[in-house]
Chain A
């Protein structure tokens, strides 16, 4: 990433409006930097769609092998890689003394499919007719709730999604999930003759079944929304008073606010922990939301913006009979939508990415937010990169979407906080 750490910009020509001979070089540098910047974020999308073996396989594969993807777990004709061998293995379940999954499949198979399997096993041409008979028969079997036996799964390596389903018992799971389990059983008992199906969402299913990711996601959403609403409300109210109302001690209180912005979070965190324990708020949403609703930074930023609103608007509203609340609600807030949106976005993202607060205050898995949940997940399954990347992507996507929507507010808001005050 050497282009990130560029030399002093001596060769460029600042401020000049005309096209300089350096323009192609400038584009090259910018494009290189852009590639470095987005590469990891694009890579994680690809990795989340690949099984771990494919992520670590060399030579490098940038894109997931989409030819392996399918959306349905039904057996298709090209899933059977070797018709004769498949027929032979099927027939091994035919003798009355046979047992195990192959025998169960044979017993449930319709007579036409059995006939086709017998013929294929003895070397007959895989004609369309025979293929169709066998594939239809297998698909009928796949839907049988009484095909798979839990003991069978003890001998084969099942993905965690399946073991989660198995724990739930046969009657509680849906038809699609039955097909999923049966398919796994078939793939395991017919070895290399039947292709393993792979859906683009396997990693996501896995991540969701290993830890309560859905809960992490909902919790993150709830906590970030509550913190954002709280912080924007309290900050806007206080900022209005600091910017527009005269009261004794105004500047001193405001200076006090500014001074505390330098206090490290480590100083505040320890007594806050003791306080949360005294309130009985440990392992509750209160601890994640309430202390974060009051922010000196938000107050400061909104005050700067409110100061820039011309007083004439207020005078006009006053003449129309508006009180202080009316001015705040009808004049200041509508004029400050960009600043409020900026603060809301920054607060939401800050809360979404916050690891330390849940780490200190939350114990139970179902109350964790995504950052903490993801570190928990990483600790348990750090070799399952596919699932790990799927988990990371679930945390990244909402941020990217939010950024795409509110992009213009970010750059505007940054200038606001450091601007002239």
Chain B
């Protein structure tokens, strides 16, 4: 067996050569920063003091940085959170994630229609997929112009079809901000950003995933359901929904992870996190802390780690409990 052990040594060495570039880059630009970030999260430090003098300028705070993010203190006899901004922006992040279920339902709905063996399905898929490709600074600039409350196209359209006046009147009657102020209103900025993200997400990746899942459902299942006298509704509930549940689970997990990290670009371009911090997400908060206002990189790292832990815990909970509800084997 000497030959085969020599062969396997050659194979291992070859493998080392093949993975080397990637693993090196991975260690330098991912593993090292992750470790450094955890370390940085225990210091008060700003790069304004100079990168090389870390040892002299950084002040060790230990775990108290994390406590400053999530902890509470007493003030005048009542409990108060240490960092009210963190909680507010976490709330914003979660609010923006309310678009996830809508997006998932929308994707499944559209995929279901496309799965009807209709003519021109590839054309529709192409059109629906386009926004998810181009979404970014350019489309956010575009939406900012379209939704401009004074002279934007959307409000002009709405008043043309006679919707603008009743909506404004209703908002006035309820004495809330006018929804037609879109992203410039503190109340409606988040729903507006959700709509913009739905535009890009419903017809995107998730729809294609659902379409693949729907196409792999064997016709025999539907035929069997028909023999049992199931109508369209029952077939959807008892065949389609369980059969696509692994896809739903995958999409939900991914959306959860990206949702907690998201919201930066759209808010940076359209609202700068405003009005009054209404669209600042945790990612935006970290960016502001580290790169824009205070350059407080230690505290920013602590917030980033809290975000990481939240994502991790929720993903694990989702994995633990969601997986049971999933029909069949979930393979990735």
Nearest Cβ in chain B — how far from A22, in angstroms? 8
Chain A count of residues within 8 A CB distance of the other chain: 110
Q: For the complex, is A316 an interface residue (Cβ under 8 Å from B)?
A: no
User: Is the Cβ of A257 less than 8 Å from the Cβ of B26?
Assistant: yes
Question: Given A37-B131, A278-B51, are A270 and B304 also a contact pair (CB < 8 Å)?
Answer: yes
Q: For the complex, is B141 an interface residue (Cβ under 8 Å from A)?
A: yes
Q: What 1/0 flags go to B119-133 for Cβ under 8 Å of A?
A: 000001111111101
Within 8 A of A (CB), among B108-164: 108-110, 112-118, 124-131, 133-139, 141-146, 151, 153, 156-157, 160
Nearest Cβ in chain B — how far from A69, in angstroms? 22
**Residues of chain A contacted by B143 (CB below 8 angstroms):** 40
User: Is the Cβ of A253 less than 8 Å from the Cβ of B260?
Assistant: no
**Residues of chain B contacted by A222 (CB below 8 angstroms):** none
User: Is the Cβ of A14 less than 8 Å from the Cβ of B115?
Assistant: yes
User: Is the Cβ of B33 less than 8 Å from the Cβ of A267?
Assistant: yes
Q: What 1/0 flags go to A262-275 for Cβ under 8 Å of B?
A: 11111111111111
Q: How far is the CA of A400 from the CA of B139 in the complex (A)?
A: 12
Q: For the complex, is B63 an interface residue (Cβ under 8 Å from A)?
A: no
User: Is the Cβ of A293 less than 8 Å from the Cβ of B25?
Assistant: yes
Nearest Cβ in chain B — how far from A35, in angstroms? 9
User: Is the Cβ of B33 less than 8 Å from the Cβ of A246?
Assistant: no
**A355 touches which one: B12, B144, B268 (CB < 8 A)?**
B268
Contacts A275-B32, A277-B51 supplied; 20 other A-B pairs, CB < 8 Å: A8-B236, A9-B109, A9-B113, A10-B236, A13-B116, A15-B239, A30-B110, A30-B114, A245-B18, A246-B11, A264-B311, A270-B301, A291-B25, A294-B26, A355-B264, A391-B138, A395-B137, A399-B134, A414-B208, A418-B332
User: Is the Cβ of B37 less than 8 Å from the Cβ of A270?
Assistant: yes
Question: Given A4-B199, A26-B113, A40-B199, are A270 and B26 also a contact pair (CB < 8 Å)?
Answer: no
Secondary structure at the B interface, as helix, strand, loop or mixed, is helix
Q: For the complex, is A81 an interface residue (Cβ under 8 Å from B)?
A: no
**Which of A52-60, A128-136, A185-193 touches B?**
A52-60
Q: What 1/0 flags go to A1-37 for Cβ under 8 Å of B?
A: 1001111111111111100100100110110011011
**Residues of chain B contacted by A41 (CB below 8 angstroms):** 130-131, 134, 139
Which chain B residue shows the least CB distance to A25?
A: B113
User: Is the Cβ of B153 less than 8 Å from the Cβ of A247?
Assistant: no
**Residues of chain A contacted by B283 (CB below 8 angstroms):** 264-266
**Residues of chain B contacted by A37 (CB below 8 angstroms):** 127-128, 130-131, 199, 203
User: Is the Cβ of B257 less than 8 Å from the Cβ of A392?
Assistant: no
Q: For the complex, is B69 an interface residue (Cβ under 8 Å from A)?
A: no
List the 10 closest pairs (A to B, CB-CB), nearest first.
Answer: A294-B25, A353-B136, A238-B22, A271-B36, A271-B33, A241-B18, A247-B15, A245-B15, A395-B138, A371-B137
**Residues of chain B contacted by A43 (CB below 8 angstroms):** 142, 146, 153
Q: What 1/0 flags go to B23-64 for Cβ under 8 Å of A?
A: 101100111111011001000000100011000000000000
Nearest Cβ in chain A — how far from B13, in angstroms? 8
**Residues of chain B contacted by A214 (CB below 8 angstroms):** none
Interface CB pairs A-B, < 8 A, 27: A4-B106, A6-B105, A8-B236, A9-B108, A14-B232, A29-B113, A30-B110, A33-B128, A40-B142, A40-B199, A233-B21, A241-B18, A257-B26, A264-B260, A264-B283, A266-B304, A267-B308, A273-B291, A277-B51, A294-B21, A353-B137, A375-B269, A389-B145, A396-B134, A399-B133, A407-B126, A419-B212
Q: For the complex, is A127 an interface residue (Cβ under 8 Å from B)?
A: no
User: Is the Cβ of B290 less than 8 Å from the Cβ of A273?
Assistant: yes
User: Is the Cβ of A389 less than 8 Å from the Cβ of B142?
Assistant: yes
**Residues of chain A contacted by B235 (CB below 8 angstroms):** 13-15
**B236 touches which one: A12, A56, A328 (CB < 8 A)?**
A12
Q: For the complex, is B300 an interface residue (Cβ under 8 Å from A)?
A: yes
**Which of B71-79, B84-92, B177-185, B214-222 touches A?**
B214-222
User: Is the Cβ of A421 less than 8 Å from the Cβ of B331?
Assistant: yes
Q: For the complex, is A296 an interface residue (Cβ under 8 Å from B)?
A: yes
User: Is the Cβ of B308 less than 8 Å from the Cβ of A5?
Assistant: no
Q: What 1/0 flags go to B159-202 for Cβ under 8 Å of A?
A: 01000000000000000000000000000000000010011001
**A12 touches which one: B113, B153, B332 (CB < 8 A)?**
B113
**B25 touches which one: A27, A234, A277 (CB < 8 A)?**
A234
B: contact size bracket? 35 or more
Q: How far is the CA of A294 from the CA of B26 in the complex (A)?
A: 6
**Residues of chain A contacted by B105 (CB below 8 angstroms):** 5-6, 8
Q: For the complex, is B102 an interface residue (Cβ under 8 Å from A)?
A: yes
Within 8 A of A (CB), among B274-332: 282-283, 286-287, 290-291, 297, 300-301, 303-305, 307-308, 311-312, 315, 331-332
Q: How far is the CA of A419 from the CA of B213 in the complex (A)?
A: 10
**B34 touches which one: A12, A44, A268 (CB < 8 A)?**
A268
**A418 touches which one: B19, B250, B287 (CB < 8 A)?**
B250
**A266 touches which one: B126, B160, B203, B261 (CB < 8 A)?**
B261
Nearest Cβ in chain A — how far from B321, in angstroms? 18
Q: What 1/0 flags go to B257-270 for Cβ under 8 Å of A?
A: 10011001100110
User: Is the Cβ of A264 less than 8 Å from the Cβ of B160?
Assistant: no
Interface centre among B47, B130, B300 (most CB of A within 10 A): B130
User: Is the Cβ of B146 less than 8 Å from the Cβ of A324?
Assistant: no
Q: How far is the CA of A240 from the CA of B144 in the complex (A)?
A: 45
User: Is the Cβ of B142 less than 8 Å from the Cβ of A392?
Assistant: yes
Q: For the complex, is A168 an interface residue (Cβ under 8 Å from B)?
A: no
Question: Given A56-B151, A245-B15, A418-B209, are A15 and B115 also a contact pair (CB < 8 Å)?
Answer: yes
**Residues of chain B contacted by A58 (CB below 8 angstroms):** 156
Q: How far is the CA of A245 from the CA of B21 in the complex (A)?
A: 16
**Residues of chain B contacted by A33 (CB below 8 angstroms):** 110, 128, 203
**Residues of chain A contacted by B22 (CB below 8 angstroms):** 234-235, 237-238, 294, 299
User: Is the Cβ of B265 less than 8 Å from the Cβ of A266?
Assistant: no
Q: What 1/0 flags go to A84-103 for Cβ under 8 Å of B?
A: 00000000000000000000
User: Is the Cβ of A273 less than 8 Å from the Cβ of B47?
Assistant: yes
Nearest Cβ in chain B — how far from A125, in angstroms? 44
Interface centre among A4, A11, A250, A403 (most CB of B within 10 A): A4
Interface centre among B30, B127, B146 (most CB of A within 10 A): B30
User: Is the Cβ of A30 less than 8 Å from the Cβ of B37?
Assistant: no
Which chain A residue shows the least CB distance to B301?
A: A270
